[in-house]
Amino acid sequence: MQDSQKTEKQKMLAGELYLSTDPELVIERQRARRLARLYNATTEEELEQRSQILQELFGKLGQNFEVVPPFLCDYGSNIYAGKNLYMNFGCVILDCNTVHIGDNLLCAPYVQIYTAYHPTDPIQRLTHRELELAAPVTIGNNVWIGGGAIICPGVTVGDNTTIGAGSVVVKDIPANVVAAGNPCRVIRSLES
């Protein structure tokens, strides 16, 4: 399929330059923002309503999850989470591409997961402000992400890994390690 035949959404999910102002994408973002607003307005007593909203918002959501409001995302439908998901206050997922989350993810407050980015060429960026790119993010099973950490586009975090608070993850992090820093790097391996 040639690029001219792809929809902007297909381009977005393929990691190609896409037009973020495409009407289909605008409608999908509005849907996600409406659901996030409704979710963030719920109270701790409205657990069933919270559950229903998140199940409608996410592409897939496993059993036993808790996402503490406020929570924000771009589309929601590109987030695929396993069971036992926990996200603390203020987490943000910019899911312009897919975000695959394994089982037993723990996120401290203000974790940010980004698939979206912009061209680095300033002329292209200024001439076509509505053009964006997105790369998928994958987070393995049994991962803990510390407060304020940022997971950047195209990154994979391996199983059983801990990402330290305030880290900026710009490259893949292997399984069974503790990693931290800006840029995030492996601090030590975990014994098996």
pLDDT in tens, the chain (192 residues): 455 699 999 999 999 999 999 999 999 999 999 999 999 999 999 999 999 999 999 999 999 999 999 999 999 999 999 999 999 999 999 999 999 999 999 999 999 999 999 998 888 888 888 899 999 999 999 999 999 999 999 999 999 999 999 999 999 999 999 999 999 999 999 975
**118 tagged catalytic:** yes
Catalytic residue among 6, 31, 83, 118: 118
- The whole-number pLDDT of residue 129 equals 80
Q: How many whole angstroms separate alpha carbon 19 and alpha carbon 16?
A: 10
Q: Which two tokens stand for residue 146?
A: 């510390």
- The whole-number pLDDT of residue 3 equals 58
- The whole-number pLDDT of residue 176 equals 98
- The whole-number pLDDT of residue 125 equals 80
Contacts of 111 (CB under 8 A, 6+ apart): 87, 88, 91, 92, 145, 146, 147, 148, 149, 150, 151
- The whole-number pLDDT of residue 127 equals 82
Q: How many whole angstroms separate alpha carbon 44 and alpha carbon 182?
A: 35
Does residue 183 have a cis peptide bond before it, meaning omega lies within 30 degrees of 0? yes
Ordered by where they begin, the domains of the chain are 8-189 (2.160.10.10)
Q: Which two tokens stand for residue 151?
A: 């997971």
